[in-house]
Amino acid sequence: MEIFSDAYPEVITRINEENKFLKSEKKEEKEKFDNTIRVLLLEIEELKEKERLLEIKLNEIKSNNKSLTSQLDLERKKIDKFHYTIWDI
């Protein structure tokens, strides 16, 4: 029995050292993970802001497009009216 009792503290010491190492690794990995999450959240916020700005630009372009379409329709009507007037003469 003494043989095992002599080896037993070595096993406990080795396992304790391994536990310390693993806890240290776990802590480092958690910090890396937390930093990654922080960076990703910042990137998400930046993308949301870009999306908002793009939506504003898109709405401006849609509005301009409607305006130009209306102007084009008016010009076409003028041309059509002009053609009818020429043919009526």
Average pLDDT over residues 7-23: 89
17-74, pLDDT tens digit by residue? 999 999 999 999 999 999 999 999 999 999 999 999 999 999 999 999 999 999 999 9
- Tell me how far apart the alpha carbons of residues 15 and 9 are, in angstroms, rounded to a whole number: 10
pLDDT (0 to 100) of residue 6: 57
Q: Please give the full DSSP string across 68-87, using - where no structure is assigned.
A: HHHHHHHHHHHHHHHHHHHH
CA 75 to chain centre: 44
Q: Which two tokens stand for residue 13?
A: 């010491």
pLDDT (0 to 100) of residue 3: 52
67 or 86: which carries more pLDDT confidence? 67
pLDDT (0 to 100) of residue 22: 98
pLDDT (0 to 100) of residue 85: 73
pTM of the model: 0.61
